[in-house]
Chain A
């Protein structure tokens, strides 16, 4: 019973190391590239990987990076929030009518497999770019969120729900005051995965002129200006890490009972 609630922590800690490793790798690659470009002045020196004057000498840089980051943040938070809302309803339906759970999972799984670029392309013909991006990004969160909500609620020990029933809690009260609080660690793990995934996916939405950190990467690529690419990618990773940390903090604050145990 207790170990079931501890598992997510262990798993996310492992992912955390991978992320740190990736950042360290990227930093090393960038550093190595700079070193090489300094050595081979004839071909590379004209276009270094990082132009410090872009970061520190250009007055518009700060506001540009701020705008791109907030655009990115918005395109992450709105779809995840919407996704959580829709997934909650889908999970509630699936938990109430068990036979609908498989079709719901299959549908959200199907949505997950559609290439994002293709989905953007189709959706923009019907609606505004922003709406198209939000719809597409939202649909990608459903699979993870529905699955984790259902798993979280199902993971509540049957003795606990039996006791809740036997003591005279109604269905709604049992859900709100027993099942949801106990499922919270698993649900929040799902939200974290969905958030980090969405941060990555938002990059591609710059294709439909919605800005975000992706547009930094694209303009950098198109204008052979690697500094923008590095900054865009770096900020994207930082944003993912920051959101992950915030959600982890939320989880810690909402589940004080999960950490306290005998001898701990």
Chain B
């Protein structure tokens, strides 16, 4: 991804008149274009305040915010907001307008012609996975998950480059939330928006964020890092406690098999012959030898059989019990290994080509790097 900065906060401060404490301390934060940045922290950390300062629903006491290098105060406020998607926890759909009218809110404000608006609404319904049948209904006739999808569609209607999401999945049940999170990631892979998302759920932050900003009470930025770096090396106790006790377990869901330093393991190519196979065994320890045939993993053979055999052709390899894809998470790899009772999983790419092996040891190494 490019390192171009889309949103930049510098020295942004919010102080409420008559309040003893500062809501947001001078805060500096750069959001790269096309990234999902998650603001997280305990209540009172000013994460929502910070988010709402970006579309000027709250005016900063001091400091400047720029989007694409332009100060957000240089444009009329309504014009600024029409160019920024906005999704909130309670969705805030207009109950007296149909779903189609809700989605069409910003295009209508921008004065698009009717035909263009209608086409765009259909396109968005498809994009967020909304049954076109629902477009004629009123919000009260939809489930919470469907309403939230409409909220996202409405925010994306005029194709704004920036999307602000304030606890977007906080009001739906955990099952729907997990599905909506996955949908958001799939959506983001297609639309590449710059997204700033507020949550209090660390798992959501880790799942969705390209970078996570951990804020302390008073808007103090404690750490701003990619989720894996955050989990691997929290800068202080506050961040460590906030991340919780199962940091390594959480990292398992982030790191992918391809990230590990995959070694070939005890494998030999059928073409190379029996002597080459025995040479492989001499280099390492193990009870099984893997055989590769035509770039694919043919199966495992017990070491003593290899020693006793006259040629490779005599061997009858057993198919691999544990197979993972290179783009699987370590969590999935671990699951495969634990359930197959095999200590080694075979890694293949999407075409089934052999890519190496992964062991419990390799996973542990990967987490301690």
Contacts and interface: CB of A to CB of B under 8 A. Distances in A.
A119 interface: no
B247 interface: no
Contacts of A167: 81-82, 86, 105-106, 109, 154-155
A260 B138 contact: yes
B92 A160 contact: yes
A257 B138 contact: yes
Given A2-B140, A169-B78, A181-B96, A157 B57 contact: no
Interface in B89-147: 89-97, 105-106, 109, 137-138, 140-143
Contacts of B142: 262
Interface string B64-87: 000000000000011111110010
B55 A166 contact: yes
B53 interface: no
A154 interface: no
A167 B89 CA distance: 15
Interface string A147-165: 0000000000101111111
B109 A262 contact: no
Nearest to A263: B141
B221 interface: no
A109 B138 CA distance: 38
Contacts of A169: 78, 105, 109
Given A257-B96, A261-B140, 8 more contacts: A1-B95, A157-B90, A160-B92, A162-B92, A165-B57, A167-B82, A168-B109, A182-B96
B88 interface: yes
Contacts of B77: 168
Interface residues of B, number: 33
Nearest to A2: B140
B118 to A, nearest CB: 19
Interface residues of A, number: 26
Contacts of A170: 78
A188 B26 CA distance: 49
Contacts, number: 84
A182 B88 CA distance: 20
Interface string B286-299: 00000000000000
Nearest to B157: A167
B9 to A, nearest CB: 18
Contacts of A160: 92-95
A159 B92 contact: yes
A247 interface: no
B317 to A, nearest CB: 57
A1 B94 CA distance: 11
B137 A182 contact: no
10 contacts: A160-B92, A162-B92, A165-B81, A166-B81, A167-B105, A170-B78, A182-B94, A257-B96, A260-B140, A261-B140
Q: Which of B78, B97, B154, B155 has the most CB of A within 10 A?
A: B78
A264 to B, nearest CB: 8
Nearest to A178: B94
B81 A168 contact: yes
Contacts of A5: 95
Contacts of A168: 77-83, 106, 109
B235 to A, nearest CB: 33
B50 to A, nearest CB: 15
A177 to B, nearest CB: 8
Nearest to B154: A167
A182 B57 CA distance: 22
Interface in A201-232: none
Given A167-B105, A168-B78, A262 B88 contact: no
Contact of A166 (B88, B95, B140): B88
Interface in A169-183: 169-170, 173, 178, 181-182
Contacts of B109: 167-169, 173
A164 to B, nearest CB: 8
A255 interface: yes
A257 to B, nearest CB: 5
Contacts of A157: 90, 92
B345 to A, nearest CB: 46
A165 B151 CA distance: 14
Contacts of A162: 57, 88, 92
A182 B95 contact: yes
**Pairs A-B, 6 closest by C-beta atoms:** A163-B92, A159-B90, A168-B81, A166-B86, A168-B82, A159-B92
A163 B93 contact: yes
Nearest to B95: A257
A207 B91 CA distance: 57
Q: Which of A162, A167, A182 has the most CB of B within 10 A?
A: A167
Contacts of A163: 86, 88, 91-94, 151
A178 B92 CA distance: 11
Given A167-B105, A182-B95, A261 B141 contact: yes
Contacts of B96: 178, 181-182, 255, 257-258
Interface in A225-264: 255, 257-258, 260-262
